[in-house]
Structure 1
Amino acid sequence: MTVVIAGAGPTGLTLAIELARRGVPCRVLDKAATLFPGSRGKGLQPRTLEVFDDLGVIGAVLAAGEPFPSMRLYRGADVVWDKAIYELLGLPELEPTPAVPYPFTWLIPQWRTDQILAARFAELGGTIEFDTEVTGFEQGDTGVTVHTDRGPIHADYLVGADGGRSTVRKASGVEFVGGALTEERIVVGDVRATGLEGRRCHLLTRDGDQSKRFSLWNLPGSEHYQLVVTMAAGDDPPALTLHGMQNMLDERSGRRDVVLSDLRWISLYRVNLLMAQRFRMGRVFLAGDAAHVHSPAGGQGVNTGVQDAYNLGWKLAAVLAGAPDQLLDSYAAERMPVAADVLRLSGLLHRQGFGSTGPSPAAIHQLDISYRGGPLAGGDDVSGALQVGDRAPDGLLPDGRRLFDVFRGPHWTVLECDAVTVDFKVPSVCVSPRAGYDVPAGSYVLVRPDGHIGAISTKPEVIAHQLRHAGSAPDQCGCPA
């Protein structure tokens, strides 16, 4: 019983942790020699922070990052304005509440996120097999033979989390549909810089024209900045060297006092909006950039991949433990609409730029992602703002615990909202409907392992049925009939 994961980025490592903490053996393969060295996906959204809380890494993530800094526009050496990113996106700045403990977007370089996830995987007994490239696969009714440059591996399932140029996706023959969002190209890299004051995103221009800016973001826990330069269609890209970046900085800013050094990673890419037409092909799955790529605007990329893995992990483990195979079909059914929405959102944000009225904060923060009407939505038609498929909010219990403390772990949870206590053989807790759960008194709320609501009902037998048929292995559920 083995799952092979191609790719040791945030998506692959989140999935590996999800499987390892459920006792499912997995092999994480990556063609690189080490973890990714760059800062690329540097913004973690509130919903991703909640996932990391559940995975046991939130302390390390918070310690290694900081809130998104303000953004400062320069005209030469003069400051034109200094604004919070929320203001620029037309969003209100949220405050922590019992229901939303992490309302902020968290700045942390991707290389540090990868290190934290890899360390957690290692704590659970896992290892990453570097310098191991997946070259193809063959699958049958009972398993998958994964071909690598080190020899074949026989597994129950294969998950391609191997990026936008995914070998797993290409070998599967699944079409990647979409195209370039614009003809622009973007240079991203990590570099040291002198001559700038304060921790912020520095937007350096010669004359205040934001379309010709050279951006330098302070990175927490590092002496490096992330540089971001957008090249208009028809512009020749600079040499991807320290000298080439310094020349472009000098040209765009009109300054000579900001000096770059120690360029340790750099990349040039075109913004694409692409999505795989299938996320499941038998025993093979796609997740993260292997399944969808889009603009970095709005900071959705890493976050969407992490949530792909969070959705898929518990389902793979449940099926391997005896749940019906059809449970795995719900992965694509739930995540493909989310990916399509993210593509639309990031495209909108990319086109509108700063200063326009933005989408809802929940859309950016991914707190409003819901699987309403999906294949796992169960229970009665109970009225209320909170519906089956929605994210289960956090909340404070009388004993001082948070609901997230109860949810944390690989299990299902039942909330008894002024209802009669029933032994569902899963963790349960009494919650007043007035404590953030807008459901009728006498209701039971079933919370899935990924923190979404699996059922709401006043009938305990409905909750028991959902536990049996939506992923709780038969020998683990002693619920009432």
Structure 2
Amino acid sequence: MDTQVLIVGAGPTGLTLAVDLARRGVDFRLVDRARGPSTASRGEELPPRAIEVLHDLGVVLADGRSCVRLRGHDGGGGPAGWDMDEDCRPTPYASTVIIPGFRVEQGLRDRLGELGGRVEYGVAVTDYDQDGQGVTAVVGGEPTRAAYLVGCDGARSYVREHLGVGFAGGTREDQRLVVGGGRDRQRIGRSDIVAWGAARMPCYRATVRMVDRYRVGRVFLAGDAAHVHSPAGGSGMDTGIQDAYNLGWKLGAVLTGAGGELLDTYQAERLPIASWPPAVSNGQDPRAHRPGQRDDGTSRPGPDYRGGPLAGVGERAGDHAPDAPCALPDGTPARISDLLRGPEFTVVGVEADDAVAYVRDAHPYVRAHTVVDDEGHIAAAYGASAGTLLLVRPDGYLGAVTPDPAEVVAYLDRVLG
């Protein structure tokens, strides 16, 4: 193989995947047909989950402005508003940040450079085919062999079109506007609505499209190559970053010995999540039909993978691991979010030294911590009492919540081999 993973497209999704693979020691090439980095701001909202991912990857971003509210209609013609972050409070980042997309890309490129990686600009993929052992692609006019190919090349993705995957959807007729500060009535064509400061972005019609498959053999789709929708709320950049974060650890695991079936879980987990923002773009209330909503209508904190192929033991298995203050055994203050940073699986034992040692002996590469729930925050966030083990995946989701270390080991054996 010339490389293990060929990534096509160096926007936020492709860069996130490259950084994640680089910190895992996976060999990759990241190519983009553009002659250089984009200076356009295709999106300016970075939600808490995406900020959490970038922080874990070691990406440093320029300061942005916090807090986003959306305005729409309540179904009866009247105005309605909601906080895009109302379901994201258990994360260490409480608010969406307004920051131009090109600055996010710059932060990712800087981090990639620190890890020894780079973007090959002005290099196009013009053909590829695959077999049972890998993908052969024409990259910059030269044949290249890779174990896997990931198309992160945007809404007009060559990788997707060549793969023959459908991209159903269309463009909505109603016009939308993203506003900041300053008064502007005329641009939205309504005399009964006052918009403030639309100088940075014109009116637009939201394009809403989705693939029906994220994977065909050894070729994967991520980001706008798989789903496009309104830029409002930052869901496009966020969903693409989360796609890459989900796929990165699975590629790394399979390339170091895990079973190839682990890669099937990428589509199973991400396709339902990615279908939510397009539904919102089509006019649905974002609080309705969101992945992670209970049958009784109450919401868990954000989309989750409950009931998915990697959900393990415990009622909360598959949930995003919430943040919670705690303490180390010596009394040092700590936070769950800080203990989880890094590319490995993490087991956190709540006053469970022996159980943590049992897991560490079976899987030495798993990071392990023992904590004390001195103020009850872990019990409130996880429903976990003393003696409980929290197994957290590299992408921040719970694999298991159980007092039995044998169940944790069995989960790791099943997922990683």
| Residues 37 and 94 of structure 1, relative CA distance in 2, 3 Å threshold | same
Q: Secondary structure at the match of 2:103?
A: helix
Choose 1 or 2 for highest CA Rg.
Answer: 1
Match of residue 388, structure 1, among 317, 320, 326: 317
The 1-side partners of 2:282 and 2:70 are apart by 21
| Residues 52 and 93 of structure 1, relative CA distance in 2, 3 Å threshold | closer
- Asked if structure 1 preserves the Cα contact closer than 8 Å seen for 2:273 and 2:291, the reply is no
Deviation at 1:457, TM superposition (A): 2.0
Match of residue 83, structure 2, among 78, 91, 94: 91
- Asked if structure 1 preserves the Cα contact closer than 8 Å seen for 2:272 and 2:291, the reply is no
The 1-side partners of 2:309 and 2:268 are apart by 7
Match of residue 288, structure 1, among 200, 223, 226: 223
Match of residue 370, structure 1, among 304, 319, 340: 304
- Asked if structure 1 preserves the Cα contact closer than 8 Å seen for 2:251 and 2:263, the reply is yes
The 2-side partners of 1:95 and 1:18 are apart by 26
Counterpart code for 2:387: G
The residue correspondences of 1:5-404 to structure 2 (distance < 5 A) are 5-57=7-59, 60-61=60-61, 63-68=62-67, 89-91=81-83, 99-180=90-171, 182-184=172-174, 200-206=180-186, 209=190, 216=197, 226-230=200-204, 270-348=205-283, 367-379=301-313, 382-383=314-315, 387-398=316-327, 399-404=332-337
Counterpart code for 1:429: H
Q: Secondary structure at the match of 1:201?
A: coil
| Residues 128 and 205 of structure 1, relative CA distance in 2, 3 Å threshold | same
Deviations 1:135-183 (A, max 9, x none): 2211111110112343221111000000011000000011112222x23
| Residues 70 and 468 of structure 1, relative CA distance in 2, 3 Å threshold | closer
Deviation at 1:440, TM superposition (A): 4.4
- Asked if structure 1 preserves the Cα contact closer than 8 Å seen for 2:8 and 2:150, the reply is yes
Deviates most, 416-425 or 156-165: 416-425
Match of 2:381 in 1: 436
Deviation at 1:31, TM superposition (A): 0.5
Q: Which runs of 4+ in 1 moved over 6 A?
A: 69-72, 185-188, 210-215, 360-363
Deviation at 1:212, TM superposition (A): 8.7
Deviation at 1:436, TM superposition (A): 2.8
- Asked if structure 2 preserves the Cα contact closer than 8 Å seen for 1:48 and 1:306, the reply is yes
Deviates most, 408-417 or 319-328: 408-417
TM-score (norm 1): 0.73
Deviations 1:357-377 (A, max 9, x none): 9659998x9951100011111
The 1-side partners of 2:148 and 2:87 are apart by 41
The 1-side partners of 2:307 and 2:241 are apart by 22
Q: Secondary structure at the match of 1:102?
A: coil
| Residues 70 and 303 of structure 1, relative CA distance in 2, 3 Å threshold | closer
| Residues 418 and 156 of structure 1, relative CA distance in 2, 3 Å threshold | same
Higher relative contact order (CA 8 A, sep 6+): 1
RMSD of Structure 2 on Structure 1 (CA): 3.1
Q: Secondary structure at the match of 2:173?
A: strand
Counterpart code for 1:154: R
| Residues 148 and 179 of structure 1, relative CA distance in 2, 3 Å threshold | same
- Asked if structure 1 preserves the Cα contact closer than 8 Å seen for 2:39 and 2:102, the reply is yes
Q: Secondary structure at the match of 1:442?
A: coil
Task: Give the paired residue count.
Answer: 386
Structure 1 unaligned residues grouped into runs of 5+: 73-86, 189-198, 218-224, 231-269, 475-481
The 1-side partners of 2:353 and 2:257 are apart by 30
The percentage of counterpart residues that share the same residue type is: 43
- Asked if structure 2 preserves the Cα contact closer than 8 Å seen for 1:214 and 1:227, the reply is no
| Residues 71 and 442 of structure 1, relative CA distance in 2, 3 Å threshold | closer
The 1-side partners of 2:26 and 2:162 are apart by 25
| Residues 393 and 139 of structure 1, relative CA distance in 2, 3 Å threshold | same
| Residues 335 and 92 of structure 1, relative CA distance in 2, 3 Å threshold | closer
Match of 1:478 in 2: none
Match of 1:459 in 2: 404
Q: Secondary structure at the match of 2:209?
A: strand
Match of 1:4 in 2: 6
Deviation at 1:56, TM superposition (A): 1.0
TM-score (norm 2): 0.84
Structure 2 unaligned residues grouped into runs of 5+: 72-78, 293-298
Deviation at 1:325, TM superposition (A): 0.1
Match of 1:406 in 2: 339
Q: Secondary structure at the match of 1:348?
A: coil
